[in-house]
Structure 1
Protein backbone atom coordinates (compact mmCIF):
# COMPACT_ATOMS: atom_id res chain seq x y z
CA UNK A 1 0.00 0.00 0.00
CA UNK A 2 1.44 3.40 -0.97
CA UNK A 3 1.46 6.19 1.59
CA UNK A 4 0.40 9.53 0.23
CA UNK A 5 2.72 12.36 1.19
CA UNK A 6 1.02 15.26 2.91
CA UNK A 7 0.56 18.25 0.64
CA UNK A 8 2.10 21.31 2.25
CA UNK A 9 0.60 24.71 1.56
CA UNK A 10 1.30 28.02 3.28
CA UNK A 11 -1.48 29.64 5.32
CA UNK A 12 -3.84 32.01 3.54
CA UNK A 13 -3.07 35.67 4.20
CA UNK A 14 -5.60 37.65 6.19
CA UNK A 15 -7.34 40.44 4.27
CA UNK A 16 -8.03 43.93 5.58
CA UNK A 17 -6.89 45.02 9.04
CA UNK A 18 -6.82 41.99 11.34
CA UNK A 19 -8.01 41.89 14.94
CA UNK A 20 -5.85 40.61 17.79
CA UNK A 21 -8.03 37.57 18.48
CA UNK A 22 -5.64 35.35 20.42
CA UNK A 23 -6.24 32.47 17.98
CA UNK A 24 -3.32 30.57 16.42
CA UNK A 25 -5.02 30.36 13.02
CA UNK A 26 -5.44 34.13 12.90
CA UNK A 27 -1.77 34.57 13.85
CA UNK A 28 -0.70 32.29 10.99
CA UNK A 29 -2.89 34.25 8.55
CA UNK A 30 -1.37 37.49 9.82
CA UNK A 31 2.15 36.12 9.31
CA UNK A 32 1.23 35.09 5.77
CA UNK A 33 0.01 38.64 5.11
CA UNK A 34 3.28 40.11 6.40
CA UNK A 35 5.29 37.77 4.16
CA UNK A 36 3.14 38.95 1.24
CA UNK A 37 3.05 42.70 1.82
CA UNK A 38 5.90 43.78 4.13
CA UNK A 39 9.21 44.45 2.30
CA UNK A 40 11.33 43.46 5.32
CA UNK A 41 9.41 40.27 6.06
CA UNK A 42 9.47 39.25 2.38
CA UNK A 43 13.25 39.62 2.29
CA UNK A 44 13.94 37.27 5.21
CA UNK A 45 15.09 33.66 5.00
CA UNK A 46 15.37 30.91 7.58
CA UNK A 47 19.09 31.63 7.82
CA UNK A 48 18.67 35.41 8.14
CA UNK A 49 16.36 34.90 11.14
CA UNK A 50 18.87 32.88 13.18
CA UNK A 51 20.34 35.89 15.06
CA UNK A 52 16.83 37.12 15.90
CA UNK A 53 15.80 33.76 17.33
CA UNK A 54 18.87 33.72 19.58
CA UNK A 55 18.32 37.34 20.63
CA UNK A 56 14.67 36.73 21.49
CA UNK A 57 15.54 33.71 23.64
CA UNK A 58 17.98 35.81 25.65
CA UNK A 59 15.46 38.63 26.01
CA UNK A 60 12.87 36.17 27.27
CA UNK A 61 15.34 35.03 29.92
CA UNK A 62 15.88 38.62 31.03
CA UNK A 63 12.11 39.25 31.15
CA UNK A 64 11.52 36.18 33.32
CA UNK A 65 14.23 37.43 35.67
CA UNK A 66 12.49 40.81 35.85
CA UNK A 67 9.19 39.10 36.85
CA UNK A 68 7.23 41.76 34.92
CA UNK A 69 4.15 40.14 33.39
CA UNK A 70 3.85 42.61 30.51
CA UNK A 71 7.51 42.15 29.57
CA UNK A 72 7.22 38.38 29.85
CA UNK A 73 4.10 38.30 27.62
CA UNK A 74 5.84 40.50 25.07
CA UNK A 75 9.01 38.39 24.98
CA UNK A 76 7.09 35.10 24.84
CA UNK A 77 5.24 36.58 21.88
CA UNK A 78 8.54 37.47 20.21
CA UNK A 79 9.78 33.88 20.65
CA UNK A 80 6.48 32.60 19.24
CA UNK A 81 6.91 34.97 16.30
CA UNK A 82 10.18 33.27 15.43
CA UNK A 83 8.47 29.86 15.43
CA UNK A 84 5.58 31.11 13.30
CA UNK A 85 7.91 32.99 10.92
CA UNK A 86 10.08 29.91 10.31
CA UNK A 87 7.04 27.66 9.85
CA UNK A 88 5.56 30.09 7.33
CA UNK A 89 8.74 30.04 5.22
CA UNK A 90 9.15 26.25 5.38
CA UNK A 91 5.49 25.91 4.34
CA UNK A 92 6.16 28.24 1.41
CA UNK A 93 8.97 25.87 0.41
CA UNK A 94 6.57 22.92 0.60
CA UNK A 95 8.66 21.18 3.28
CA UNK A 96 6.44 21.18 6.38
CA UNK A 97 4.00 23.41 8.26
CA UNK A 98 3.28 24.33 11.87
CA UNK A 99 1.00 21.32 12.39
CA UNK A 100 3.97 19.06 11.58
CA UNK A 101 6.08 20.93 14.12
CA UNK A 102 3.39 20.59 16.80
CA UNK A 103 2.91 16.89 16.01
CA UNK A 104 6.65 16.26 16.24
CA UNK A 105 6.77 18.01 19.62
CA UNK A 106 3.77 16.07 20.92
CA UNK A 107 5.29 12.76 19.83
CA UNK A 108 8.58 13.64 21.53
CA UNK A 109 6.94 14.67 24.80
CA UNK A 110 4.86 11.48 24.92
CA UNK A 111 7.84 9.31 23.98
CA UNK A 112 10.11 10.88 26.61
CA UNK A 113 7.59 10.61 29.46
CA UNK A 114 6.83 6.88 29.74
CA UNK A 115 6.52 7.37 33.50
CA UNK A 116 3.51 9.62 32.83
CA UNK A 117 1.79 7.94 29.89
CA UNK A 118 2.79 4.29 30.37
CA UNK A 119 3.09 1.86 33.27
CA UNK A 120 6.75 2.71 33.84
CA UNK A 121 7.50 4.07 37.32
CA UNK A 122 10.33 6.47 38.14
CA UNK A 123 10.90 7.43 41.74
CA UNK A 124 12.43 10.90 41.57
CA UNK A 125 13.80 13.69 39.37
CA UNK A 126 17.20 12.01 39.05
CA UNK A 127 15.60 8.82 37.73
CA UNK A 128 13.55 10.86 35.24
CA UNK A 129 16.76 12.51 33.98
CA UNK A 130 18.48 9.12 33.54
CA UNK A 131 15.51 7.73 31.61
CA UNK A 132 15.30 10.92 29.50
CA UNK A 133 18.93 10.47 28.45
CA UNK A 134 18.31 6.80 27.64
CA UNK A 135 15.40 7.71 25.40
CA UNK A 136 17.48 10.40 23.66
CA UNK A 137 20.14 7.74 23.00
CA UNK A 138 17.48 5.47 21.49
CA UNK A 139 16.31 8.36 19.29
CA UNK A 140 19.90 8.87 18.11
CA UNK A 141 20.12 5.19 17.19
CA UNK A 142 16.95 5.60 15.15
CA UNK A 143 18.49 8.60 13.34
CA UNK A 144 21.59 6.59 12.59
CA UNK A 145 19.40 3.83 11.18
CA UNK A 146 17.93 6.45 8.82
CA UNK A 147 21.43 7.23 7.55
CA UNK A 148 22.33 10.12 9.89
CA UNK A 149 25.42 8.85 11.73
CA UNK A 150 26.38 10.40 15.05
CA UNK A 151 29.64 12.33 15.10
CA UNK A 152 31.76 12.87 18.19
CA UNK A 153 30.99 16.60 18.45
CA UNK A 154 27.26 16.33 17.78
CA UNK A 155 26.40 16.48 21.47
CA UNK A 156 28.04 19.80 22.25
CA UNK A 157 25.90 22.28 24.13
CA UNK A 158 23.46 24.57 22.37
CA UNK A 159 23.71 28.25 23.22
CA UNK A 160 25.40 31.39 22.01
CA UNK A 161 28.26 31.15 19.51
CA UNK A 162 30.78 31.69 22.33
CA UNK A 163 29.24 28.94 24.45
CA UNK A 164 29.20 26.50 21.53
CA UNK A 165 32.75 27.37 20.51
CA UNK A 166 34.08 26.74 24.02
CA UNK A 167 32.23 23.43 24.39
CA UNK A 168 33.32 22.21 20.94
CA UNK A 169 36.92 22.96 21.88
CA UNK A 170 36.52 21.24 25.24
CA UNK A 171 35.16 18.09 23.62
CA UNK A 172 37.86 18.09 20.94
CA UNK A 173 40.49 18.48 23.68
CA UNK A 174 39.18 15.33 25.40
CA UNK A 175 39.85 13.51 22.13
CA UNK A 176 43.45 14.76 22.03
CA UNK A 177 42.96 17.62 19.57
CA UNK A 178 44.54 20.45 21.58
CA UNK A 179 47.73 22.31 22.44
CA UNK A 180 49.76 21.57 25.56
CA UNK A 181 49.48 25.10 26.94
CA UNK A 182 48.09 28.54 26.24
CA UNK A 183 51.02 29.58 24.02
CA UNK A 184 49.76 27.45 21.14
CA UNK A 185 46.36 29.10 21.42
CA UNK A 186 47.97 32.55 21.38
CA UNK A 187 50.02 31.62 18.30
CA UNK A 188 46.84 30.51 16.53
CA UNK A 189 45.10 33.75 17.52
CA UNK A 190 47.98 35.80 16.07
CA UNK A 191 47.83 33.75 12.88
CA UNK A 192 44.08 34.29 12.47
CA UNK A 193 44.33 38.04 13.18
CA UNK A 194 47.04 38.39 10.53
CA UNK A 195 44.84 36.54 8.03
CA UNK A 196 41.96 38.90 8.82
CA UNK A 197 44.21 41.93 8.39
CA UNK A 198 45.39 40.61 5.03
CA UNK A 199 41.76 40.66 3.82
CA UNK A 200 41.22 44.28 4.94
CA UNK A 201 44.38 46.37 5.22
CA UNK A 202 45.21 48.49 2.14
CA UNK A 203 41.99 47.33 0.43
CA UNK A 204 39.44 49.70 -1.04
CA UNK A 205 35.88 49.82 0.23
CA UNK A 206 34.71 48.16 -2.98
CA UNK A 207 37.27 45.37 -2.59
CA UNK A 208 36.20 44.79 1.00
CA UNK A 209 32.51 44.70 0.07
CA UNK A 210 33.22 42.27 -2.77
CA UNK A 211 35.05 39.97 -0.36
CA UNK A 212 32.82 40.41 2.69
CA UNK A 213 31.88 36.70 2.91
CA UNK A 214 35.54 35.66 3.22
CA UNK A 215 36.16 38.47 5.70
CA UNK A 216 33.29 37.21 7.83
CA UNK A 217 34.88 33.75 7.89
CA UNK A 218 38.24 35.17 8.91
CA UNK A 219 36.59 37.20 11.66
CA UNK A 220 34.87 34.04 12.89
CA UNK A 221 38.24 32.27 12.96
CA UNK A 222 39.61 35.09 15.15
CA UNK A 223 36.70 34.84 17.56
CA UNK A 224 37.06 31.07 17.74
CA UNK A 225 40.79 31.35 18.41
CA UNK A 226 40.21 33.91 21.17
CA UNK A 227 37.72 31.55 22.83
CA UNK A 228 40.47 28.93 22.76
CA UNK A 229 42.70 31.31 24.74
CA UNK A 230 39.94 31.75 27.31
CA UNK A 231 39.48 27.98 27.60
CA UNK A 232 43.20 27.37 28.08
CA UNK A 233 43.16 29.96 30.87
CA UNK A 234 40.17 28.17 32.47
CA UNK A 235 37.96 31.20 31.86
CA UNK A 236 34.44 31.20 30.44
CA UNK A 237 34.34 33.19 27.19
CA UNK A 238 30.62 33.96 27.54
CA UNK A 239 31.03 35.32 31.06
CA UNK A 240 34.09 37.35 30.08
CA UNK A 241 32.23 38.91 27.14
CA UNK A 242 29.13 39.66 29.22
CA UNK A 243 31.36 41.33 31.81
CA UNK A 244 32.83 43.50 29.06
CA UNK A 245 29.36 44.39 27.74
CA UNK A 246 28.26 45.41 31.23
CA UNK A 247 31.43 47.49 31.67
CA UNK A 248 30.94 49.23 28.32
CA UNK A 249 27.30 50.05 29.08
CA UNK A 250 28.27 51.38 32.51
CA UNK A 251 31.03 53.62 31.13
CA UNK A 252 28.87 54.89 28.29
CA UNK A 253 26.12 55.61 30.81
CA UNK A 254 28.63 57.67 32.80
CA UNK A 255 29.42 59.70 29.68
CA UNK A 256 25.73 60.35 29.10
CA UNK A 257 25.20 61.39 32.73
CA UNK A 258 28.16 63.78 32.71
CA UNK A 259 27.01 65.40 29.49
CA UNK A 260 23.49 65.76 30.89
CA UNK A 261 24.91 67.42 34.02
CA UNK A 262 26.58 69.95 31.71
CA UNK A 263 23.31 70.58 29.89
CA UNK A 264 24.33 68.60 26.81
CA UNK A 265 23.28 65.38 25.13
CA UNK A 266 25.26 62.76 23.22
CA UNK A 267 24.33 64.28 19.87
CA UNK A 268 25.87 67.61 20.98
CA UNK A 269 29.22 65.97 21.78
CA UNK A 270 32.04 64.62 19.63
CA UNK A 271 34.46 61.71 19.91
CA UNK A 272 37.16 63.84 21.53
CA UNK A 273 34.93 64.98 24.37
CA UNK A 274 33.43 61.53 24.81
CA UNK A 275 36.89 59.95 24.91
CA UNK A 276 37.91 62.29 27.76
CA UNK A 277 34.76 61.30 29.65
CA UNK A 278 35.46 57.64 28.89
CA UNK A 279 38.80 57.90 30.66
CA UNK A 280 37.04 59.71 33.51
CA UNK A 281 34.59 56.79 33.70
CA UNK A 282 37.49 54.37 34.05
CA UNK A 283 38.91 56.48 36.86
CA UNK A 284 35.46 56.63 38.48
CA UNK A 285 35.36 52.81 38.47
CA UNK A 286 38.69 52.59 40.25
CA UNK A 287 37.61 54.99 42.98
Structure 2
Protein backbone atom coordinates (compact mmCIF):
# COMPACT_ATOMS: atom_id res chain seq x y z
CA UNK A 1 0.00 0.00 0.00
CA UNK A 2 1.33 3.42 -0.93
CA UNK A 3 1.54 6.14 1.70
CA UNK A 4 -0.93 8.17 -0.37
CA UNK A 5 -3.51 5.36 -0.45
CA UNK A 6 -3.19 4.75 3.30
CA UNK A 7 -3.47 8.44 4.10
CA UNK A 8 -6.58 8.57 1.92
CA UNK A 9 -8.20 5.82 3.99
CA UNK A 10 -7.30 7.60 7.24
CA UNK A 11 -8.77 10.84 5.90
CA UNK A 12 -12.02 9.10 4.95
CA UNK A 13 -12.21 7.62 8.45
CA UNK A 14 -11.76 11.08 9.93
CA UNK A 15 -14.57 12.45 7.75
CA UNK A 16 -16.92 9.55 8.51
CA UNK A 17 -16.31 9.92 12.22
CA UNK A 18 -17.17 13.61 11.99
CA UNK A 19 -20.08 13.60 9.53
CA UNK A 20 -21.79 10.18 9.56
CA UNK A 21 -24.24 9.54 12.45
CA UNK A 22 -23.64 5.78 12.37
CA UNK A 23 -19.84 5.98 12.33
CA UNK A 24 -19.85 8.70 14.99
CA UNK A 25 -21.92 6.47 17.30
CA UNK A 26 -19.58 3.46 17.22
CA UNK A 27 -17.38 2.41 20.14
CA UNK A 28 -14.74 -0.30 20.49
CA UNK A 29 -17.43 -2.51 22.04
CA UNK A 30 -19.98 -2.03 19.25
CA UNK A 31 -17.28 -2.73 16.66
CA UNK A 32 -16.07 -5.91 18.37
CA UNK A 33 -18.71 -8.31 17.04
CA UNK A 34 -18.51 -6.83 13.56
CA UNK A 35 -14.74 -7.33 13.60
CA UNK A 36 -15.21 -10.97 14.58
CA UNK A 37 -17.70 -11.43 11.72
CA UNK A 38 -15.31 -9.81 9.24
CA UNK A 39 -12.54 -12.12 10.41
CA UNK A 40 -14.74 -15.18 9.84
CA UNK A 41 -15.69 -13.88 6.41
CA UNK A 42 -11.99 -13.64 5.60
CA UNK A 43 -11.56 -17.19 6.92
CA UNK A 44 -14.31 -18.43 4.59
CA UNK A 45 -12.72 -16.68 1.62
CA UNK A 46 -9.35 -18.26 2.44
CA UNK A 47 -10.87 -21.75 2.64
CA UNK A 48 -12.50 -21.18 -0.75
CA UNK A 49 -9.25 -19.69 -2.13
CA UNK A 50 -11.40 -16.86 -3.47
CA UNK A 51 -8.74 -14.20 -4.04
CA UNK A 52 -11.22 -11.51 -4.98
CA UNK A 53 -13.12 -12.06 -1.72
CA UNK A 54 -9.85 -12.26 0.24
CA UNK A 55 -8.89 -8.82 -1.09
CA UNK A 56 -12.28 -7.39 -0.15
CA UNK A 57 -12.29 -8.88 3.35
CA UNK A 58 -8.73 -7.70 4.02
CA UNK A 59 -9.92 -4.22 3.13
CA UNK A 60 -12.78 -4.54 5.61
CA UNK A 61 -10.39 -5.62 8.36
CA UNK A 62 -7.99 -2.81 7.53
CA UNK A 63 -10.88 -0.37 7.89
CA UNK A 64 -11.60 -1.79 11.34
CA UNK A 65 -7.97 -1.32 12.37
CA UNK A 66 -8.11 2.31 11.28
CA UNK A 67 -11.50 2.70 13.01
CA UNK A 68 -10.25 1.39 16.37
CA UNK A 69 -7.17 3.58 16.09
CA UNK A 70 -9.32 6.64 15.36
CA UNK A 71 -11.44 6.01 18.47
CA UNK A 72 -8.27 5.41 20.53
CA UNK A 73 -6.83 8.70 19.28
CA UNK A 74 -10.00 10.55 20.29
CA UNK A 75 -9.60 9.15 23.80
CA UNK A 76 -5.91 9.96 23.99
CA UNK A 77 -4.83 6.31 24.02
CA UNK A 78 -2.83 5.80 20.81
CA UNK A 79 -2.73 6.63 17.10
CA UNK A 80 -2.58 4.51 13.94
CA UNK A 81 1.07 5.54 13.56
CA UNK A 82 1.81 4.11 17.02
CA UNK A 83 0.06 0.87 16.02
CA UNK A 84 2.30 0.59 12.96
CA UNK A 85 5.43 1.52 14.91
CA UNK A 86 4.56 -1.02 17.60
CA UNK A 87 4.23 -3.97 15.23
CA UNK A 88 7.37 -2.88 13.35
CA UNK A 89 9.41 -2.83 16.55
CA UNK A 90 7.95 -6.16 17.66
CA UNK A 91 8.84 -7.87 14.37
CA UNK A 92 12.41 -6.60 14.56
CA UNK A 93 12.78 -7.68 18.20
CA UNK A 94 11.22 -11.11 17.57
CA UNK A 95 13.55 -11.89 14.64
CA UNK A 96 17.06 -11.56 16.12
CA UNK A 97 18.32 -14.06 13.52
CA UNK A 98 17.67 -11.36 10.90
CA UNK A 99 18.11 -8.11 12.85
CA UNK A 100 20.95 -7.56 15.35
CA UNK A 101 19.56 -8.47 18.80
CA UNK A 102 19.29 -6.01 21.63
CA UNK A 103 21.25 -6.45 24.84
CA UNK A 104 19.61 -9.10 26.98
CA UNK A 105 18.19 -10.87 23.96
CA UNK A 106 21.28 -12.93 23.22
CA UNK A 107 21.65 -16.57 24.09
CA UNK A 108 18.72 -17.68 21.99
CA UNK A 109 18.70 -20.87 19.97
CA UNK A 110 20.58 -20.71 16.66
CA UNK A 111 18.00 -20.65 13.88
CA UNK A 112 18.18 -23.51 11.43
CA UNK A 113 14.50 -24.22 10.83
CA UNK A 114 10.95 -22.92 11.18
CA UNK A 115 10.68 -24.69 14.55
CA UNK A 116 13.74 -22.87 15.86
CA UNK A 117 12.10 -19.55 14.93
CA UNK A 118 8.92 -20.51 16.80
CA UNK A 119 10.85 -21.58 19.91
CA UNK A 120 12.83 -18.34 19.96
CA UNK A 121 9.59 -16.39 19.48
CA UNK A 122 8.12 -17.97 22.63
CA UNK A 123 11.37 -17.47 24.57
CA UNK A 124 11.43 -13.80 23.62
CA UNK A 125 7.84 -13.30 24.75
CA UNK A 126 8.75 -14.72 28.16
CA UNK A 127 11.73 -12.35 28.32
CA UNK A 128 9.31 -9.50 27.57
CA UNK A 129 7.30 -10.36 30.67
CA UNK A 130 4.78 -13.00 29.64
CA UNK A 131 4.25 -15.34 32.60
CA UNK A 132 3.23 -18.37 30.55
CA UNK A 133 3.76 -19.58 27.00
CA UNK A 134 -0.03 -20.11 26.92
CA UNK A 135 -0.89 -16.53 27.88
CA UNK A 136 -0.99 -15.37 24.27
CA UNK A 137 -3.91 -17.64 23.36
CA UNK A 138 -7.12 -15.54 23.38
CA UNK A 139 -9.83 -16.79 25.74
CA UNK A 140 -12.54 -16.07 23.17
CA UNK A 141 -11.06 -18.24 20.42
CA UNK A 142 -13.35 -21.02 19.13
CA UNK A 143 -12.62 -24.19 21.10
CA UNK A 144 -11.11 -26.19 18.23
CA UNK A 145 -8.78 -23.36 17.20
CA UNK A 146 -7.89 -22.74 20.84
CA UNK A 147 -7.02 -26.42 21.29
CA UNK A 148 -4.72 -26.26 18.27
CA UNK A 149 -3.00 -23.10 19.51
CA UNK A 150 -2.53 -24.43 23.06
CA UNK A 151 -0.88 -27.58 21.72
CA UNK A 152 1.35 -25.59 19.37
CA UNK A 153 2.41 -23.30 22.20
CA UNK A 154 3.22 -26.22 24.51
CA UNK A 155 5.24 -27.82 21.74
CA UNK A 156 7.62 -24.85 21.64
CA UNK A 157 8.93 -25.69 25.12
CA UNK A 158 9.23 -29.42 24.42
CA UNK A 159 5.92 -30.60 25.91
CA UNK A 160 5.11 -32.82 22.97
CA UNK A 161 4.44 -36.42 21.99
CA UNK A 162 7.25 -38.18 20.15
CA UNK A 163 5.27 -39.78 17.32
CA UNK A 164 1.83 -39.81 15.74
CA UNK A 165 1.45 -43.41 16.97
CA UNK A 166 1.82 -42.19 20.54
CA UNK A 167 -0.97 -39.68 20.00
CA UNK A 168 -3.21 -42.31 18.40
CA UNK A 169 -2.77 -44.49 21.48
CA UNK A 170 -3.94 -41.50 23.53
CA UNK A 171 -7.00 -41.21 21.25
CA UNK A 172 -7.78 -44.88 21.91
CA UNK A 173 -7.30 -44.35 25.66
CA UNK A 174 -9.66 -41.35 25.69
CA UNK A 175 -12.21 -43.26 23.60
CA UNK A 176 -12.26 -46.05 26.16
CA UNK A 177 -12.69 -43.54 29.00
CA UNK A 178 -15.61 -41.92 27.17
CA UNK A 179 -17.24 -45.31 26.66
CA UNK A 180 -16.85 -45.97 30.38
CA UNK A 181 -18.46 -42.61 31.22
CA UNK A 182 -21.34 -43.38 28.86
CA UNK A 183 -21.86 -46.71 30.59
CA UNK A 184 -22.04 -44.87 33.92
CA UNK A 185 -24.50 -42.33 32.45
CA UNK A 186 -22.74 -39.46 34.20
CA UNK A 187 -23.47 -36.28 32.21
CA UNK A 188 -20.60 -34.35 33.74
CA UNK A 189 -18.13 -37.19 33.20
CA UNK A 190 -19.32 -37.77 29.64
CA UNK A 191 -18.79 -34.12 28.79
CA UNK A 192 -15.32 -34.17 30.35
CA UNK A 193 -14.23 -37.32 28.54
CA UNK A 194 -15.74 -36.16 25.25
CA UNK A 195 -13.68 -32.98 25.56
CA UNK A 196 -10.55 -35.02 26.29
CA UNK A 197 -11.20 -37.14 23.20
CA UNK A 198 -11.66 -34.08 21.01
CA UNK A 199 -8.43 -32.59 22.38
CA UNK A 200 -6.56 -35.82 21.58
CA UNK A 201 -8.01 -35.91 18.05
CA UNK A 202 -6.95 -32.30 17.48
CA UNK A 203 -3.46 -33.31 18.61
CA UNK A 204 -3.49 -36.25 16.18
CA UNK A 205 -4.59 -33.95 13.35
CA UNK A 206 -1.66 -31.68 14.17
CA UNK A 207 0.76 -34.59 13.88
CA UNK A 208 -0.77 -35.43 10.49
CA UNK A 209 -0.26 -31.76 9.52
CA UNK A 210 -4.02 -31.31 9.19
CA UNK A 211 -5.79 -28.12 10.23
CA UNK A 212 -8.49 -29.55 12.52
CA UNK A 213 -10.68 -26.46 12.21
CA UNK A 214 -10.47 -26.45 8.41
CA UNK A 215 -11.12 -30.19 8.29
CA UNK A 216 -14.28 -29.86 10.40
CA UNK A 217 -15.47 -26.88 8.34
CA UNK A 218 -14.94 -28.92 5.17
CA UNK A 219 -17.14 -31.65 6.63
CA UNK A 220 -19.74 -29.04 7.67
CA UNK A 221 -19.90 -27.73 4.10
CA UNK A 222 -20.10 -31.25 2.71
CA UNK A 223 -23.00 -32.03 5.05
CA UNK A 224 -24.81 -28.81 4.09
CA UNK A 225 -24.38 -29.59 0.39
CA UNK A 226 -25.60 -33.19 0.68
CA UNK A 227 -28.49 -32.32 3.00
CA UNK A 228 -29.63 -29.55 0.66
CA UNK A 229 -29.54 -31.97 -2.29
CA UNK A 230 -31.53 -34.45 -0.23
CA UNK A 231 -34.20 -31.78 0.41
CA UNK A 232 -34.28 -31.00 -3.32
CA UNK A 233 -34.61 -34.68 -4.18
CA UNK A 234 -37.53 -35.05 -1.77
CA UNK A 235 -39.18 -31.93 -3.19
CA UNK A 236 -38.82 -33.44 -6.66
CA UNK A 237 -41.00 -36.29 -5.41
CA UNK A 238 -43.52 -33.82 -4.04
CA UNK A 239 -42.52 -34.64 -0.47
CA UNK A 240 -40.70 -33.15 2.53
CA UNK A 241 -37.97 -34.86 4.53
CA UNK A 242 -40.18 -34.77 7.62
CA UNK A 243 -42.64 -37.05 5.75
CA UNK A 244 -39.99 -39.66 4.94
CA UNK A 245 -38.69 -42.55 6.98
CA UNK A 246 -35.05 -42.65 8.02
CA UNK A 247 -34.52 -45.53 5.57
CA UNK A 248 -35.86 -43.44 2.68
CA UNK A 249 -33.65 -40.52 3.59
CA UNK A 250 -30.62 -42.81 3.94
CA UNK A 251 -31.26 -44.16 0.44
CA UNK A 252 -31.25 -40.63 -1.01
CA UNK A 253 -28.15 -39.74 1.00
CA UNK A 254 -26.27 -42.80 -0.26
CA UNK A 255 -27.25 -41.99 -3.85
CA UNK A 256 -25.95 -38.43 -3.49
CA UNK A 257 -22.66 -39.75 -2.06
CA UNK A 258 -22.32 -42.16 -4.98
CA UNK A 259 -22.98 -39.39 -7.50
CA UNK A 260 -20.32 -37.19 -5.87
CA UNK A 261 -17.71 -39.93 -6.06
Class of the TM-score when normalised by the shorter of the 2 chains: 0.5 to 0.7
Residue of structure 2 aligned with 1:229, choices 188, 194, 201:
194
Verify the 8 A CA contact 2:234 2:240 in the aligned structure 1: no
1:163 aligns with 2:144: yes
Is the contact made by 2:134 and 2:150 (CA closer than 8 Å) also made in structure 1? no
Flag the 1:229–1:100 CA change in 2: closer, same or farther, 3 A.
Answer: same
Distance 2:218 2:49 in 1: 23
TM-superposed deviation, 1:44: 3.3
Matched, 1:284 2:252: yes
Which residue is equivalent to 2:56? 74
* Residue 140 (structure 1) aligned with residue 121 (structure 2): no
The answer to whether the 8 Å contact 1:251/1:281 transfers is: no
Secondary structure of the corresponding residue to residue 89 of structure 1: helix
How far apart in 1 are the matches of 2:19 and 2:185? 49
Work out the CA distance in 2 between the residues paired with 1:282 and 1:88: 55
Between 1 and 2, higher relative CO (CA 8 Å, sep ≥ 6) is seen in 1
Structure 2 residue aligned with 1:131:
120
Change (3 A) 1:29 1:240: same
TM-score with structure 1 setting the length:
0.54
Query: How many residue pairs get matched?
Result: 210
| Matching of residues 23-38 of structure 1 within 5 Å | 23-38=5-20
Aligned mate of 1:253, from 193, 215, 228? 228
**Unaligned stretches of 5+ in structure 1?**
1-20, 142-149, 175-180, 191-224, 265-271
TM-score, scaled to structure 2: 0.58
Alignment pair present for 1:111 and 2:56: no
CA RMSD of aligned residues (A): 4.6
Whether the 8 Å contact between 1:156 and 1:164 is mirrored in structure 2 is no
Aligned to 1:154: 135
